[in-house]
Structure 1
């Protein structure tokens, strides 16, 4: 049997970028885009900030869960105000690892907590429906380009 370290590094396949959205300013509607440049401060055209919250990610697989918990219909990514939706790989399993997304290298460790606006966007109970499913905040290690359809995969470091 493999050791725990090896199990933590093993994923069946790469994930994929399913959707990208930009928030040009605080509280502004989210604008879907097909591709974007990621700099140290986050996505170009987004109001994000440098550091641990430069960009946000959420798993596509969590959207139906949030819809079910909020007793809503299908949820579109714009409603949740995250920057990048990925599918096919467990983001939580990538926590505290460097992730290659397109040509950019990012790292996340901070959950992206829902804001009180989710109660209005999703209806009564929307805030709690997102708890544990709200995605992750990430910092930028290496700037790069990301497009819908790009791979999302762990970047194994020499120290692991």
Structure 2
């Protein structure tokens, strides 16, 4: 919106797209304080105190701000899309890691013959578990998530 003041001192706020034309006022009109005639798309004419150049500058400045804001919005949308993809990728890897842990627990064969070793883990189940967790940890590290070390968390 741009702000215009008419010759009666009334303020008008106009959307630039609602302006049909701007005409610089003649010398006799300028003597009465009218600097420009602004015709709107609905046919209304505002006798403005601002010059045609000032009004055109306001419109251009508003357009530049809109372009800058649209670029900023576009950048945020791209960032949000990238973040959404990252979250989905991490969520999928986390589900894989949880599934591998469940498979590891189900594959464990109870063994009470050796003290301190309550179960035997089949190598394939252990490999799946380690691989799934390694992929998850690698992606988290690659994307900049570095959890605190054990000593830092507790100490």
Q: Which has more strand, going by share of residues?
A: 1
Point out the structure with max Rg over C-alpha: 2
Q: Which category describes the TM-score, using the shorter chain as reference length? A: under 0.3
Q: Which has more helix, going by share of residues?
A: 2
- Indicate the structure whose relative CO is greater, using CA pairs within 8 Å and at least 6 residues apart: 1
